Amino acid sequence: MGSNGKRYFGTDGIRGRVGTAPITPDFMLKLGWAAGRVFGGIGNGRNRILIGKDTRISGYMFEAALEAGVTAAGVDISLLGPMPTPAIAYLTRTLRAQAGIVISASHNSFHDNGIKFFSGQGAKLPDEIELAIEAELDKEMTTVPSETIGKASRVSDAAGRYIEFCKSTIGPSLKLTGLKIVVDCAHGSTYHIAPNVFEELGAEVSAIGVSPNGLNINKEGGSTMPEELARKVLDSGADLGIAFDGDGDRVIMVDHGGRIVDGDEILYAIARNRQREGLEFGGVVGTQMSNLGLELALGDLKIPFARSPVGDRYVMQELADRGWGLGGESSGHIIITDLNTTGDGIVSALQTLAAIVGFEQSLAELCRGMRKLPQSMVNVQVANGADPTASPAVRDAVSKVERKLGGNGRVLLRPSGTEPVVRVMVEGEDAERVEALANELSELVANQVG
């Protein structure tokens, strides 16, 4: 049983190894039926659910299973084909569908797959809807009468619709003429979208990771492995590089010198430009893992900053609670609430490019006002459910490390949500000292709760 009593839904949908329950065709058939039953009661007239996917080979199998299940429940299906996750959120909203289904395991390898849902408003589902779907999964699957079985159709212009949307987010007058960009699509769902967006805005684009074969998604490239992109930028003399993950909701960049620019720095660049343009966004939400350098740099700009737990769901909730408009994670998952309802890698990259044009600075110059502090993180194996913060010895050790940092650093102990480890993170001014303190603290944690 997971969070809030859910058996299948985690913090970001349902995900796992293909062929291992619940990531199996029979489960997906039943899941489609259950979703059709729940969403079939929402809206008026003939209801419809959109289905999109990334490029991993198992997507074909699960798309067919979901289609059969949804239509058996009497709900129509519109197939989008390979599309970025944020595109599916956008199209669900603009095509007035009752829900959108994403078949993707994001930045994971092709061995994994998963399912994410969007509401008719393009937002993550609330707990009560996920619980309602799980309740339907306990029932015997039935098929509606033949005359009310759902119909399936394909949205032939899905890619074009989303390309135009992306371009609209930076206004009609801004052009990228003169910028030389390398784009890495990780052989994922942005392969036929991202290069076109930047080219149509005037940039000179060299694209890599645009030959998906079902097995190479996220392989040795993309936002989780941007080293090859950095080499391409240096070899070609490009102004910058842009890397997406397999489902297109994350972005990492590379400056002209081959230096990797992560989500914290992208957030800083976007916030700085929005302040220059006089756009009201309240403040910036990061996570517990966001670099202290981001907080300090935003403070210099008099921009408020707050932290949420790790995960885009929590960033979004914190933004909603505060009424702010900009947040994200170091991994490059950036949320700009007045542009899309979820993290959008292409839109975030465009906002950063708009800042480069607006300030008339290179990416390196744009990020110069933020100095990332050294971080060291050690994963400590622990017994399932072990809580290191419950140990007086661990709490005392954390306090000692914080005193040694003298207010110019942070200590964070965070249990992993996917494996039996505790992540021990120390951040401070001096890299060698930070690493030594992280190792020292992790050894103590291992002795106490290992």
Taking a C-beta distance cutoff of 8 angstroms, is the pair 95, 345 a contact?
Answer: no
Taking a C-beta distance cutoff of 8 angstroms, is the pair 312, 329 a contact?
Answer: yes
Q: What does the alpha-carbon distance between residue 82 and residue 208 come to, in Å, rounded to a whole number?
A: 17
Amino acid at 335: I
Amino acid at 158: A
Q: Is 206 a catalytic residue?
A: no
Q: What is the DSSP letter of 7?
A: S
Contacts of 200 (CB under 8 A, 6+ apart): 163, 167
Secondary structure of residue 400 in the 3-state scheme: helix
Taking a C-beta distance cutoff of 8 angstroms, is the pair 241, 228 a contact?
Answer: no
Q: What is the DSSP letter of 141?
A: P
Q: What is the DSSP letter of 126?
A: P
Taking a C-beta distance cutoff of 8 angstroms, is the pair 390, 349 a contact?
Answer: no
Task: Identify the active-site residue in 106, 223, 308, 442.
Answer: 106
* Angle CA 186–192–197, to nearest 5: 100
- 152-154 vs 76-82, strand pairing mode: parallel
- 410-415 vs 421-427, strand pairing mode: antiparallel
What residues are annotated to the active site?
106
